[in-house]
Structure 1
Amino acid sequence: MTAAAPAEQYDLLAIDTLLSSDEKDVRASVRQFCDSAVDPHVAEWFEAGDLPSIRELTKALGDLGVLGMHLDGYGCAGMSAVEYGLACLELEASDSGIRSLVSVQGSLAMYALWRWGSDEQKAEWLPRMAAGLAIGCFGLTEPDHGSDPSGLRTRARRSGADWVLSGTKTWITNGSIADVAIVWADAGEDGGIRGFVVPTDSAGFTAHPIEHKLSLRASVTSELVLDEVRLPESAALPGVTGLRGPLSCLGEARYGIVWGAMGAARTAFRTALDYSLTRQQFGRPIAGFQLTQEKLARMNQELALGTLLALHLGRLKDSSGVRPAQVSAGKLNNVGKALEICRTARTILGANGISLEYPVIRHLTNLESVLTYEGTAEIHTLTVGQALTGIPAFR
């Protein structure tokens, strides 16, 4: 029986040589955490459709330093975009739901506070969120408005010195276990689309878990209902009005997905490679057949190219900055290629490819959600198209 592939076969193009020692240390720390705290349990969480110890897990992630790790101050680690990307890759190599937990906490809820919040809002929430002692969610998507957030129906109206919010949000990660929700609402003549910091124990706020998911099952997904939720003036994010606010947060989260998708793809590829070296058919390992080698070569090529693309965008983000269309190109490419890699890996595993004894089918079904959240493939295609032609084609 042939042994599993040695480590150097996993990185044929020596991409590791492009990383600094600090970047490798961050990656190793997150990988060690996932090996001990996530991987032994995640298949059971997925099968059960539950994260039974999510507060303990979030606290452990806070202790690790990955919650809001790319932000400065307020207990955040202040790490680079590449280091954050590598963390996302390792988290999603375990499961997309775990990366989503970290991404929604740090790149959506915390980033909204950090970028657009008042000093008081930041001081109240960011240290606890960075430590994993408070969980946040991000309320933008609605039952009738996903790709077109400009049409959102959640309303914010003035009532004396207060704001009153009414509306419904759906497909909200962390929603039913969150301590604070960043909710985007249309304030009409009082400022258009505004962000609000909503403690989830506010009167009129309820959250209900979304059941019967067949994807991202190791993740809490919820519907938020705001029924005349009264908030003080200080609950409004003062730093931004209009869609620029939520879209800036989505850009941060999408950047993490560019890396994370390659984590899911890496796990699928390595599983398929190892399996092909040990699975015997017709008296030899299936890795010795030309059709299997063609699949492995193509998977390795797309994994390497996607990882290099993520690294390039990370280097841009850390130096001159990265444009939204560049992040869209990264998400569009990497999630699509990750799906192809997982589907090909499934064929190499044969019937075993649909068993939760192996991680491939779990990653494959998770990526079906990743393909459409934080912007569908169609929206990112049109974003890239507009960047190339200068002509918007969304309507």
Structure 2
Amino acid sequence: MTVMMMKVFHVLLLLNSVWTLTGGERGVSCHFGKICVFPCKFSPGDNILIHWHLTPGNVQVHSFYDNQDQLGQQDQQFKGRTSLFLDQISEGNASLKLTGVKVQDKGTYQCYTSTMEQEAKTSNINVNVKAPVQKINMRQTENLIICSSDGIYPEPHLSWSTSPPSNRTFQNQTTVQKTEELLYNINSSLTLSDREDELEYNCTINTLSDQRRASWRRRPSVEIISGEATISCSSPDTPLSGFSLVWRFNQRQMIVTKNEDDEQRVSEEWKQHVKEVSESGRLTLQHLSADHEGTYTCEVSKDGDSSITQVSLRSDPGKGNSHVVIGIVITLVVIAAVIGLVVWRRRRGSKCTKSQKVKKRENNKLEKSEDNQDEEEETKMNSS
């Protein structure tokens, strides 16, 4: 049989396989944006022919014959994203590798194989695509808690709860948006209660195949005393082995991070202020001023779940600024002492002046008395 006749024979078998399927059927789950392999095996032989199609529509994905890839009829959707394990084809491996998986890639793929020694064989691979919830973001904005996550597939569901459980009805708004890549972004806002310091708010986002959870809690504010403050991350303070940790200032500025291997990194701007980070994530700060008043957020994560603690740091005029008060008191004491000294010297000078005047008067009187005596004696002498 000539090569041309073999090609015609293979094509006829392929067309027939579109309608008459033989072989097994398997399912493969692929992650969005990753590499995915669709398995397909056959009995080795000569004149190997491999065709991959996506149904419905018989979309051409990848072809191989004459000992090389044949991609002239490949659909534009798969350009530059498919390949076979060329070094393993002779061993009966017709598996297809697809890179940069998209949502549009889901569907049923047909693997058609044949050789000179083996009749055509077709197997189906059902491919599902998923983009799991990677991270849940939670933050406070005024009297709202915002919970959000992006790039999810299939469409996610979001729910709220509290610890301890609360009987109140949650006032929340949830929106789901579909992106150009057919992924889903979800966002929900929950109105805080008047007793938010006593509750932990839990946001759970799940799809058909996975689930992630994040919690948010606000702890009582902490005072800056003598330029120092210590703020806790977990309650009670327990070692965070195997967790990742991030402390932020005003929800944006990174202070310190710790990874699962306990490797710590402090941002350059905060190196002079970070005194210690304990095993439980408790943060001790030093050399603080009024500029460091604000919101401090601790986020602890493990296996996709996270716990967020928010603490406000403020100065106490009675304690934190005691050095200012002491300075004012010392200044007032010095001023009072100077004023007292001036008054004392003036009074003393006034007394000395009066005493000198009295003494001068007495001296004048004495001099006059002596002059009168001299005149009287002189008069007596003249009369005699």
- Same fold, TM-score > 0.5, yes or no: no
TM-score by length of 2: 0.17
Whichever structure has more helix as a proportion of its residues is 1
Whichever structure has more strand as a proportion of its residues is 2
Whose Rg is larger?
2
TM-score by length of 1: 0.17
